[in-house]
Homo-oligomer: A and B are copies of this chain.
Amino acid sequence: MNISDRAKAMPASPIRKLLPYAIEARKRGIEIYSLNIGQPDIETPQSFWNAVHSYPAKVLAYGNSQGIPEYREWLVKYYRANNININSDEIIVTTGGSEAVMFAMLTVTDPGDNIIVFEPFYTNYNGYAVMTDIDLIPITTEPEQGYHLPPKDVIESKINERTKAIFICSPNNPTGTVLTKREIETIAEIAEKHNLFVISDEVYREFVYEGEHTSILHFPELLQRGIMVDSISKRFSSCGARIGAVITKNKAVMDSAVRMGQARLCPPTIEQYAAQSVLMQLSDDYFEKMVAEYKQRRDITYEELMKIPGLICKKPAGAFYIMAKLPIDNVEKFAKYLLTDFSIDGKTVMVAPGPGFYATDGLGHSEIRIAYVLESEKMRKAIKILAKAIEVYNGKQQT
């Protein structure tokens, strides 16, 4: 007996596949700055922990398949504060943003259909495309353009009769790019013309350092076409909570997502209660402080990267990632080298190689994604180590 074609096609996470080398390096006593994964070092809010530590039930019961009603009511208030007017029936709480991506894909596509994505893109969309038997049609964005969208006609030229949706992510993982209001208007025009859904991953909503975040649900013309994917993982530094959401005003989409939600019974109960507690007690300056901290990290990371000869990178406006094009041919080899053969004073860095963020073969071989999830001075040290590694690696290659 054989496993399925889709099982064979499942990609290993490019972010996680270097892990065995990291484990080996740590065994040798090497300290690693982990810039490969979007795991913030910011403390999860005390209100979250207080709720967990005093969770009152005696029986840990199933919750509502659509999410605990009180939590959804608090989400309504949170979204309203972000100029997104929805009601609690237009939310399904999901098990992380991951499940939200899966539900969004399943509700709009059948096997063999496709969705337009802009590459580089968050690598796990690939995994869900394989699991849901659809194709992702990549449209390449360029480091030299700050990874902003290409012209309208380039996007339209990729749409075919099996295209069901355009998938955007802003602020973007992995590029940090924040789409402008005008860019989302263009997406809306294309969606209307070609009768497509727009799936929008907005998990980094608050992480904007210049300009402001635009949601698809700010556009009346996208209210029926829009499916928003969300998560508390980064916003409340609670990646292990596995609490996300699908938000849509399209009743047919929501009804079917809820039925999918019933099949998996419910998202985790305790963490919804804790997330609600965070929303109830959110201080006015919570996001302000968090954003100031990340902005400083970004600035220092960017400043240090700019010192590296031959590196190409535009300062990103949001999220907590920087894609940088290195003066290196094969970043997969280089990322492995960082873990297996390089260290300075017993320290090295772990980065995510670029190719995993592209669907087009041959792209990204000189790019890496850096998550600036460590405090500023650690980021500075880490990028200095990276700079030295590039120098030594390229020197070795020439000999």
**A residues at B contact (CB < 8 Å):** 1-8, 10-13, 16, 37, 39-44, 48-49, 52-55, 57-63, 65, 95-96, 98-99, 102, 106-111, 113, 124, 126-128, 131, 133, 164, 195-197, 225, 237-242, 252-253, 256-257, 259-260, 262-271
- A96 neighbours in B (Cβ, 8 Å): 264-265
CB atoms of A10 and B60 under 8 A apart: no
A65 to B13, CA, bound (A): 10
A7 with B127: CB separation less than 8 A: no
Chain B residues with CB below 8 A from A197, complex form? 1
If A10-B259, A58-B44, A110-B6 touch, does A267 touch B242 (CB 8 Å cutoff)? Answer: yes
Inter-chain contact A133/B111, CB cutoff 8 Å: yes
Question: Could you tell me if A196 and B263 are in contact, using CB atoms closer than 8 angstroms?
Answer: no
Give the oligomeric copy count.
Answer: 2
A133 to B131, Cβ gap below 8 A?
Answer: no
- Please give me the residue from chain B that is nearest to A133 by CB atom: B111
A-B contact pairs, 21 of them (CB 8 A): A3-B107, A4-B106, A4-B108, A4-B109, A7-B107, A7-B257, A10-B260, A12-B259, A40-B59, A44-B57, A44-B58, A60-B237, A62-B240, A96-B265, A98-B264, A99-B264, A110-B133, A124-B262, A124-B265, A131-B263, A240-B268
CA distance in complex: A229, B362 (Å): 39
CB distance from A291 to the nearest CB of B (A): 18
CB distance from A64 to the nearest CB of B (A): 9
Q: Please report the C-alpha to C-alpha distance between residue A48 and residue B44 in the assembled complex, in whole angstroms.
A: 21
B41 touching A59, Cβ below 8 Å: yes
Contact yes or no, B65 A16, CB < 8 A: yes
Chain B residues within an 8 Å CB radius of A260: 7, 10, 127, 131
A58-B43, A262-B127, A263-B127 known; A3-B252 Cβ under 8 A = yes
A271 to chain B, nearest CB (A): 7
| Residue among A5, A253, A265 with the highest chain B CB neighbour number at 10 A | A265
Q: Which of chain B's residues have a CB closer than 8 A to the CB of A49? A: 55, 58
Q: CA–CA, A162 to B187, complex, Å?
A: 41
Residue contact B58 to A164, C-beta cutoff 8 Å: no
CB within 8 A of A164: which of B4, B99, B269?
A: B4
